[in-house]
Amino acid sequence: MRPFELTAPETVEAALASPGTFLAGGTTLVDLMKLNVLTPQHVLDINELPLRGLDTSDGLRIGALERMSEVAGQPGVYPVIARALLQSASQQLRNMASIGGNLLQRTRCTYFRDVEMPCNRRQPGSGCSAISGANRMHAVLGTSDSCVATHASDLAVALVALDAEIRLVSAEGSRTVKLAEFYRLPGDTPEVENDLRPGELVTEVLVPRLDWASRSTYVKVRDRQSYEFALCSAAVALHIEDSRIVDARVAVGGVATVPWRLHAVEAALRGAPATPEAVEAAASVGADGARPLADNGFKVSLLKRTVVRALLELTEESR
């Protein structure tokens, strides 16, 4: 860790006025500073800013500084969001980590975290160690020849499934963007992870109202029961009427470079009977376009299985 200057602005205006790196819970930032992956000179502790609040009256509005544990425990939060949060990290981390920070967390790629190793995302043009290295945990969807790292947030997968938006403010003013459009595929510029502009602050997450998302869930498959990132996860919501699927939301995590919505699976589900056969048939297109690496070919099969498991949980619930 390099020496740095720390200030704690008390108003949004003050925070936007001085350039620096925002510190919320610090569970990503401080971790990467200790590894010398991030070396900010000026750190702005934003915890005093009034970016709090949780409103479930019309959809969901979450202040960027709400802690993961607070949102997970709030009645009225869609099950898919609460479950994605509760299966993230550990209780201690969730007590510290903020919603805004969660969406901006960095990849867990082992080479990104080791400054001795080439990594295009950390050091543009240095090469990607994972493509020919240890890549079991890496992505099969949305990859490029420059980077194959997964986006690690569970919450983001649930939010993308629900068409969530985030509110951003900067000295120039504020704007609202769809979370699904906020994240960038690595392409030739994996160092650009999202659409956040320099000095811009995430203030709020907005989830549009979707009453049938009360039937939703998050299934996370991993190498141990808790406290581990996903090999594959599925965020699903189903609108079922008279044993037929009226509408569906499906997104997957742990397998793609950004939270990955499965529109084709949703289309196949719409109008289908809520039966295991129909669900399996719909999930079978989920991994279309996947580009497996040497160690992660199993994710192609696992993705479909995870989606089936999540969907069956909901169709069985509906019986």
Partner 1 sequence: MPSRLDGPLKVSGRAEYGADHNFPGMAYGYVVLSTIANGEIEAMDVTAAKSAPGVIGVYTPFDPLELRTPSLPMFGETWVPLQNRDVAYYGQPIGFVVAETFEQARDAAMLVDVTYRERPALTSLEDGLASAEEAPPGFDGSPQTHTLLASGVDSIEDALADSPVVVEATYSTATQNHAAMEPHSAVAVWDSGVLTIYSGNQGSDLQAMEVAGALALDPSAVHAVNPFVGGAFGGKGRTSTPAFLAAAAARALDRPIKAALSREQVFTATAGRAATVQKIALGADTDGRLIAVRHDSWCSTAMDRSFVEPTSHGTSREWYATPNLALSQKMVPLNIPPTTFMRAPGEAPGSFALESAIDELAVALNMDPIELRMRNNSTAPPGRDLQWSSKHLDECFSVGAARFGWASRSPHGRTDGDWLVGVGTATAMFPALRFPASVEVTLQADDTAVVATSGADPGTGLLTVLSLVGAESLDITPDRITPRLGDSALPPGGMSGGSTATASAGTAIMIAASKVIDDLLVVATSPGSPFQGMETSYADGHVLAGGRTMTFGEVLRAVGRPSISAIGSSAPGEEMTKHSFSSFGAQFCEVRVHKWTREARVSRMLGVFDAGRIINDKAARSQIMGGMIWGVSAALHEGLEIEPNGRMANADFAGYLLPVNADIPEVDVHFVQHPDTLHNAVGARGVGEIGTVGMAAAVANAIYNATGVRVRHIPIVIEDLLDD
Ligand X SMILES: Cc1cc2nc3c(=O)[nH]c(=O)nc-3n(C[C@H](O)[C@H](O)[C@H](O)COP(=O)(O)OP(=O)(O)OC[C@H]3O[C@@H](n4cnc5c(N)ncnc54)[C@H](O)[C@@H]3O)c2cc1C
Could you list the residues that contact partner 1 (CB under 8 A)?
A: 1-3, 36, 108, 110, 114, 116-117, 133-134, 219, 221-228, 231-232, 298, 301-302, 305-306, 308-309, 312
- Determine if 101 is a binding residue for ligand X (CB under 6 A): yes
CA distance 39 to 42: 9
Whichever of 59 and 259 has its CB closer to ligand SF4, that residue is 259
Selected binder of ligand SF4 within 67, 83, 94, 121 (CB under 6 A): 121
| 28 belongs to the binding site for ligand SF4 (CB under 6 A) | no
Write the single-letter amino acid at 155: L
- Residue 50 tokens, joined: 């009034």
Name the CA radius of gyration of the chain, rounded. 19
CA-wise closest residue to 252 among 314, 181, 191, 303: 303
User: Quick one: which of 121, 140, 291 has its CA closest to 193?
Assistant: 121
CA distance linking residue 151 with residue 253, whole number of Å: 7
Both tokens assigned to 100: 């805004």
Please report how close the Cβ of residue 64 comes to ligand X at its closest, in angstroms: 4
Does 102 engage in binding with ligand X (CB under 6 A)?
yes
Q: Quick one: which of 106, 257, 100 has its CA closest to 168?
A: 100
Tell me which residues in 153-212 interact with ligand X (CB under 6 A): 153-155, 201-202
| Rounded least distance, CB 229 to ligand SF4, Å | 14
The closest alpha carbon to 105, from 150, 53, 41, 48, belongs to 150
Interatomic CA distance for residues 81 and 73, integer angstroms: 10
Determine if 109 is a binding residue for ligand SF4 (CB under 6 A): yes
Question: Is residue 93 involved in binding ligand X (CB under 6 A)?
Answer: yes
Q: How many chain residues interact with ligand X (CB under 6 A)?
A: 29
148 counts as binding ligand SF4 under rule CB under 6 A: yes
User: Which one of ligand X, ligand SF4, partner 1, none interacts with residue 143, CB within 5 to 8 A by kind?
Assistant: none
Shortest distance, CB of residue 104 to partner 1, whole angstroms? Answer: 19
Nearby residues of 13 by Cβ (< 8 Å), 6 or more positions away: none
Among 56, 60, 70, which Cα is nearest to 98's? 70
Where on the chain is the footprint of ligand SF4 (CB under 6 A)? 107, 109, 111-112, 119-121, 128-130, 147-149, 190
Where on the chain is the footprint of ligand X (CB under 6 A)? 21-29, 31, 64, 88-89, 93, 96-98, 100-102, 104-105, 152-155, 201-202, 229
